[in-house]
Structure 1
Amino acid sequence: MHYDIFNGDADGIISLLQLRLAEPKQAQLVTGVKRDIQLLNHLDLKPDDSLTVLDISMSRNKPQLLKALEIGALVFYADHHKSDAIPEAENLEAYIDLDANTCTALIIDRLLQGRFQYWAMTAAYGDNLVAQADLLAQQAGLSPQQAEQLKELGTLINYNGYGETTDDLHYHPAKLFQELLAYDDPFAVIAAQDSPYHRLKRAYQQDMRLAQAIKPFYHDASLAVYQLPNRAASRRVSGVYGNWLANQTPSQAHLVLTENSLNGYTVSLRAPLDNKQGAGELCSQFVSGGGREAAGGINHLERADLQRLIETVTSHYSK
């Protein structure tokens, strides 16, 4: 059995999309909402199995990865999140790049020598690596309008990945991957009237209107905090809303708190775009938290810990 294991956001989906456009393969798809990152827990592996693992932290999946390697499974692993020490094993092919200005789809783009670079740009836009994606678009000779189309599509695919469960999503990430695999060019997705682009665009616009009407819960020179109510629309929009806020005020960090069913918060943190570092480490100071340099999250934050979180983030970015 071959398993394709990938984060349910734009970066994870499009990383796999590039690989399978280049090398079609029958596979069991393993994915979930964006915050479901310990995906190797879902596997019951046998020695002759193989795995492609994309855009999930090696650090958070290390015990299961070691088990897979020990039984002899072949593993291809590409990611840009926290990895800790990378195991040394003949059956592991690992491409890990923790640079704050890259994403997994750009790592795959390098491996494929730009074969599906329009898709890689789309993923970079979706992961809020706007400057990097703009540079690639300029180098490829795309017009500003074409670049904006890729940015919109990447944002929409990323938007679809956020939710408490896949029931919150408009498309299960595996289904969205399968539908997008029919298009070797993202511009074809936009042009096709029956593609996921149009459904996601309508839903995104509606959810974002609700979020953009909310005033800051707290703000100072280095941080702005927004609180979204406990509803599916809030859970869907939390990540892309955080990216939107970051682009509006690049000198500030942003916390998006979404009230959850456990009477606490699900948290998205965006580092200032002018200082893209520390977000993942800050979130990892709290139970169920983690991420990367530019963006982090906490799956559940107790209300009693909110003030400590605000003080921790403010202290870090006001230095």
Structure 2
Amino acid sequence: MHYDVFNGDADGIIALLQLRLATPLDSQLVTGVKRDIQLLAKVPFQTGDSLTVLDVSMAKNSAALQQALAAGARVFYADHHQAGDIPQHDNLQAHINLDANMCTALIVDELLQGQYHDWAITAAYGDNLLKVADGLAAKAGLRTSQAEQLKELGTLINYNGYGKTTADLHYHPADLLRALSGYTSPFEVIADPDSAYHVLKAAYERDIAHALALEAVHQSPLLRVFELPDESASHRVSGVYGNLLANQQPDQAHLVLTEADEQHFTVSLRAPLSNKQGAGTLCAQFETGGGREAAAGINLLPKQDLTCLIEAVEAYYG
């Protein structure tokens, strides 16, 4: 059995999309909402199985990875999140790049020598690597209008990955991958009036309008904090809303708090775009937190710890 294990956001979906366009393979898809990252624990691997693991932290999946390797499974692993100690094992092919200007789809793009480069650019836009994506688009000879199309599509695919559960999403990430797999180019998706692009575009515009009407609940020269209510629309839009805020004020950090229940927030942290470091380290200080240098999150932050988080963010970037 082969398992494709991937994050349900734009980077994870498009990283796998590129691989399967290049090498079609009958596989079991293992994925979930954006914050569902301990995915390897869901795989019932056996000796002789193979796994492709994309865009989930190796550090967060360390125990399950060790078990898979011990069971004799072969693992291809590509990622840009916190890795911890990478096992040295003949059955592990690891492609880990923690550079703040790298994403998993770009790692795959390099391995495939740019075979589906427009898709990789779309993923970079979706992962909020806007300057990187702009540079790649210009180098590829794309017009500004084409780059904007890829930016919008990447944002929409990323938007679809956020939710408390997959019931909040417009498409289960596995279904969205299947829907996109019939298109060798992202421009084909955009041109098709019946594609997921048009469904997500209409939904995103409704959701983001509510978020944009909110005022900051905390603001300083270093940080802006916004709070969203416990609604499906809030959970769907929280990640792309954080990216949008970061691009509005690139010298400030941003926290988006979405009420998870009466005692907890779900947190998205964006480092200042002018100083893309530290987000993963800051969030990892809290029990359910983690991420990468530029963007990270905390699945369940006790509300009484919010002041501590704000102070830690301001101290770090100050």
- Scaled by the length of structure 2, what TM-score is found? 0.99
Equivalent residue number for residue 267 of structure 1: 267
Q: Distance in 1 between matches of 2:311 and 2:291?
A: 19
Q: Distance in 1 between matches of 2:108 and 2:160?
A: 22
Equivalent residue number for residue 21 of structure 1: 21
Equivalent residue number for residue 288 of structure 2: 288
Equivalent residue number for residue 203 of structure 2: 203
Q: Which amino acid in 2 is paired with 1:142?
A: L
Q: Distance in 2 between matches of 1:305 and 1:263?
A: 10
Equivalent residue number for residue 139 of structure 1: 139
For residues 1-319 of structure 1, the aligned pairs below 5 Å read: 1-318=1-318
Q: Distance in 2 between matches of 1:174 and 1:115?
A: 22
SS at match of 2:300: strand
Gaps in structure 1 of 5+ consecutive residues = none
SS at match of 1:206: helix
SS at match of 1:136: helix
Q: Which amino acid in 2 is paired with 1:160?
A: N
- The structural deviation recorded for 1:261 is 2.6
CA deviation profile, 1:36-75 (whole Å, cap 9, x unmatched): 0000110111101000000000000000000111111010
Q: Distance in 2 between matches of 1:258 and 1:169?
A: 16
Q: Distance in 2 between matches of 1:262 and 1:33?
A: 22
SS at match of 1:60: coil
Q: Distance in 1 between matches of 2:88 and 2:297?
A: 29
- The structural deviation recorded for 1:260 is 1.0
Q: Which amino acid in 1 is paired with 2:142?
A: L
Q: Which amino acid in 1 is paired with 2:64?
A: Q
Q: Could you list the structure 1 runs, at least 4 aligned residues long, displaced by more than 4 angstroms after superposition.
A: none
Q: Distance in 2 between matches of 1:67 and 1:74?
A: 11
Q: Which amino acid in 1 is paired with 2:159?
A: Y
Q: Which amino acid in 2 is paired with 1:275?
A: N
- The structural deviation recorded for 1:263 is 2.9
CA deviation profile, 1:141-200 (whole Å, cap 9, x unmatched): 000000000000000000000000000000000000000000000000000011000000
- The structural deviation recorded for 1:140 is 0.7
- The structural deviation recorded for 1:19 is 0.1
Q: Which amino acid in 2 is paired with 1:263?
A: Q
Q: Which amino acid in 1 is paired with 2:177?
A: F
Q: Distance in 2 between matches of 1:38 and 1:268?
A: 18
- The structural deviation recorded for 1:251 is 0.2
SS at match of 1:59: coil
Q: Which amino acid in 1 is paired with 2:39?
A: L
Q: Which amino acid in 2 is paired with 1:202?
A: A
SS at match of 2:60: helix
Q: Distance in 2 between matches of 1:13 and 1:261?
A: 29
Q: Which amino acid in 2 is paired with 1:217?
A: V
SS at match of 2:61: helix
Q: Distance in 2 between matches of 1:54 and 1:261?
A: 30
Q: Distance in 1 between matches of 2:302 and 2:91?
A: 41
Q: Distance in 1 between matches of 2:78 and 2:252?
A: 30
SS at match of 1:257: strand
Q: Which amino acid in 2 is paired with 1:281?
A: T
Q: Which amino acid in 1 is paired with 2:176?
A: L
- The structural deviation recorded for 1:262 is 4.9
